[in-house]
Amino acid sequence: MTVAEVGEIEPHRLLVGHEWVDSLSTETFSSIDPYTGKSWAEIPACGPEDVERAVGAARLAFDDGPWGKMTGADRGRLIRRLAVLVDENAEELAVAEVRDNGKLLREMRGQMEALPNYYEYFSGAADKIGGDVIGSSKPNFFVYQLLEPVGVVGAITSWNSPLLIAAYKLAPGLAAGCTFVLKPSEHTSVSTILFARLVEEAGFPPGVLNVVTGDGPNVGEPLVSNPGVDKIAFTGSTVTGKRVASAAASHLAKVSLELGGKSPNIVFDDADLDAATSGVIAGIFAACGQSCVAGSRLLVQRSVHDELLSRVVDRTAAITIGNPLDLETEMGPLAFQAHYDRVVSFVAAGLEDGAELIFGGKRPDHLPEGLFLEPTIFDRVENGMRIAQEEIFGPVLSVISFEDEDEAVRLANDSSHGLAAGVWTRDIQRGHRLAKAIQAGTVWLNAYRMVSHDVPFGGYKSSGYGRENGLEGLREYQQTKTVWVETEGIVRDPFKLG
């Protein structure tokens, strides 16, 4: 596949079972490139009937298809083949993501280069799925446990890193033996469709991966509510995550939720300020702040506030903003108009609530067109303000000062979210104390924005539940069956339990 092929030859189609089909609705919608503002691909606008068809294909593949009869080693081989194909097509997939969501090519290239690692890692786990023998206290019984796949998974992804987030779900889920119906965000469908072609090319049996495209109400909700779906693996906002959990409860589907964050990046006065400055910039201005782990609250010790802020502002002023496909660019546009309007509304909210705007806050002068916003820094933020409590998902940093360690911990935890946190200090004991005290699924000490296929990731509090990546991520796609084997041939009292 070449970049020219992506979206410019024909409208995309859906993968259902082993066939590329049109949506039953026959309608399409456009994917808008946020840099050019122009449509660059036509996507099928699916409806509930397409979801039903896709779930049926995934169900059939799970219950009756060759997939269920494959050994773990067979599944592992297919997943490894997929890893190779992803690697060979990494550049095209990266460009598709940039054109869909406007994130930097250098960021998306990095993600696509890492993507094969996810599939390779879990391909290696596929043939090592065992179980346990229980040393039961019941005499005359041999008891063991099997780890079986949960079944059909409805996977729903957000627009900010579509294929990486899909890999968090597909790689362990396929290794476990599940089948999938995958719904990408309507803003970023192309890379998922291109990826599905690679799954087909790798030789997966029909119905193991099905893709349905379209919006939340017409595709997401019917998928979550479909009783043929055994598990929902969702990445998105906390608001939608709550709706998803409640709809899945109607048929008791298992749920894992990777939701929003308002993560603190905490800098103490003994920190390496060069490293901390870089970590602060990475935390909020990388990916234009459109990152679930964005370090959107900078908690800085008062004694080092002026020094750190002057470094952060200097580096911010030097950020190159422009075309996301240009490798020199450090910040591109925001992903789509409604999101842009929402992010800009938080600049007004910060001013209204009395924070001090010390950098940015408007469209860059040299970019009169496109969804661009300057990197924006508010100082003198109180932790109760809207810009300190609500996830903005854009390049807006809220700076909050603290006096001592106790206050830093209190401020860090004074949030409904608990996804991630950064701590910058040269005092190793303090670092570990903070790591223990902070309520978040990930804490980085003297680093920020590190993720890996072999390290579990997920949220505390309203940042979600369940873990992705690492072997813990595999367990999300397995259920335990216990088997009791009577070994003595004894006839037992039928009216006595156990």
Annotated catalytic sites, by residue? Answer: 258, 292
Sign of the dihedral defined by the CA atoms of residues 29, 187, 474, 143, in that order: negative
Is 156 among the residues that bind ligand NDP (CB under 6 A)?
Answer: yes
Distance CA 372, CA 35 (A): 9
CB atoms within 10 A of CB 197: 16
Residues whose CB falls within 8 Å of the CB of residue 333, separated by 6 or more in sequence, listed in order: 34, 35, 102, 288, 324, 340, 370, 371, 372
Nearer to ligand NDP, 61 or 182 (CB): 182
Contact 239, 123 (CB under 8 A): no
Is 34 among the residues that bind ligand NDP (CB under 6 A)?
Answer: no
In whole angstroms, how far apart are CA 294 and each of 81, 160, 287, 316, 317? 33, 12, 9, 16, 19
Minimum gap (Å) between residue 363 Cβ and ligand NDP? 22
Minimum gap (Å) between residue 261 Cβ and ligand NDP? 6
Nearer to ligand NDP, 161 or 323 (CB): 161
Is 237 among the residues that bind ligand NDP (CB under 6 A)?
Answer: yes
Q: Segment near ligand NDP (CB under 6 A), from 19-27, 199-207, 239-247, 350-358?
A: 239-247
Minimum gap (Å) between residue 129 Cβ and ligand NDP? 25
Tokens of 404: 């001592």
Minimum gap (Å) between residue 62 Cβ and ligand NDP? 21
| CA-derived radius of gyration, the chain | 24
Residues whose CB falls within 8 Å of the CB of residue 468, separated by 6 or more in sequence, listed in order: 168, 169, 172, 256, 258, 456, 457, 458, 476
Contact 372, 366 (CB under 8 A): no
Binding string, 440-459, against ligand NDP, x = CB under 6 A?
-------------------x
Sign of the dihedral defined by the CA atoms of residues 232, 233, 235, 239, in that order: positive
Residues whose CB falls within 8 Å of the CB of residue 255, separated by 6 or more in sequence, listed in order: 231, 232, 234, 244, 245, 248, 465, 466
Single residue of 31, 179, 191, 235 touching ligand NDP by CB under 6 A: 235
Binding string, 115-154, against ligand NDP, x = CB under 6 A?
----------------------------------------
> Would you list the DSSP string of 412-435?
HH-SSEESEEEEE-S-HHHHHHHH
Nearer to ligand NDP, 229 or 304 (CB): 229
Element (H, E) at 277: helix 273-284
Nearer to ligand NDP, 127 or 221 (CB): 221
Judged by phi (left if over 0) then psi (alpha if -120 to 50, else beta), residue 71 lies in beta
Nearer to ligand NDP, 83 or 232 (CB): 232
Single residue of 92, 120, 391, 476 touching ligand NDP by CB under 6 A: 391
Tokens 């005290």 — which residue? 437
Binding string, 240-279, against ligand NDP, x = CB under 6 A?
x--xx-------------xxxx------------------
Q: Segment near ligand NDP (CB under 6 A), from 37-45, 76-84, 184-192, 354-362?
A: 184-192
Minimum gap (Å) between residue 109 Cβ and ligand NDP? 18
In whole angstroms, how far apart are CA 406 and each of 49, 152, 418, 423, 437? 55, 46, 18, 14, 10
Is 390 among the residues that bind ligand NDP (CB under 6 A)?
Answer: no
Q: Segment near ligand NDP (CB under 6 A), from 238-246, 320-328, 369-377, 480-488?
A: 238-246
Single residue of 50, 97, 120, 186 touching ligand NDP by CB under 6 A: 186
Nearer to ligand NDP, 154 or 206 (CB): 154
Distance CA 234, CA 43 (A): 21
Nearer to ligand NDP, 65 or 289 (CB): 289
Q: Segment near ligand NDP (CB under 6 A), from 30-38, 191-199, 230-238, 472-480?
A: 230-238
Distance CA 357, CA 381 (A): 10
Is 158 among the residues that bind ligand NDP (CB under 6 A)?
Answer: yes
Question: What is the DSSP secondary structure assignment for residue 160, as one 8-state letter?
Answer: S
Nearer to ligand NDP, 76 or 154 (CB): 154
Residue 466 — φ and ψ, nearest 5°? 95, 160
Nearer to ligand NDP, 50 or 186 (CB): 186
CB atoms within 10 A of CB 348: 11
Biggest CA pair distance of the chain: 86
Is 292 among the residues that bind ligand NDP (CB under 6 A)?
Answer: yes
Minimum gap (Å) between residue 250 Cβ and ligand NDP? 12
CB atoms within 10 A of CB 347: 22
Binding string, 411-440, against ligand NDP, x = CB under 6 A?
--------x---------------------
Minimum gap (Å) between residue 405 Cβ and ligand NDP? 27
Minimum gap (Å) between residue 226 Cβ and ligand NDP? 11
Contact 53, 390 (CB under 8 A): no
Is 163 among the residues that bind ligand NDP (CB under 6 A)?
Answer: no
Is 478 among the residues that bind ligand NDP (CB under 6 A)?
Answer: no
Which residues contact ligand NDP by CB under 6 A?
156-160, 165, 183, 185-187, 215-216, 220-221, 224, 235-237, 240, 243-244, 258-261, 292, 391, 393, 419, 459, 463-464
